[in-house]
Amino acid sequence: MITSCKPKHLPCIQLINEKAGFKKIKDDDYTIKVYEQEEVEGFYILKYYDKMVEIVRLIVDWVFRGKGVGSALLTDIILNAKIRGVKRVEIVVHEQDDYSINWLLKRGFVGVGVEKNYFKERDGYLLRREL
């Protein structure tokens, strides 16, 4: 089940976020939702702009990969974006993260290009999906 983030979810989100190699999230201007069965299995963090939404994080805990959690989260992102009148979804992943890049390409995203020094020690790869 996908629900809005509640205070009880924050420790699990931070743990999954840290295991994926990301720093603590500080900005309060995000939309955060979690995929939860008996525990938090994955989550996403979005930043809405005028007619575009940036997927800041789309993370599934390693234990739950390959079970449809990421697909359910991405479907939720796209459905809610369309309801809000968003025309484009963008995400930047590590340039060498072939698993995530291929996963997104299979789901209608197209590669746009490299974002130099997007991550502290690596370049990012920008992917976009028009809605």
Kindly state the tokens that stand for 6.
């509640």
What φ, ψ does residue 81 adopt, rounded to 5°? Answer: -65, -45
pTM greater than the 0.85 cutoff: no
Instruction: Give 2-130's CATH code, choosing from 3.30.559.10, 2.60.40.3140, 3.40.630.30, 3.30.160.20.
Output: 3.40.630.30
Rounded distance between C-alpha atoms, residue 45 and residue 34, angstroms:
9
* Residues linked to residue 42 through DSSP beta bridges, in sequence order: 35, 60
pLDDT, tens only, 89-108: 999 999 999 999 999 999 99
Whether 67 has a pLDDT exceeding 70, the answer reads: yes
Q: Where are the domains of the chain?
A: 2-130
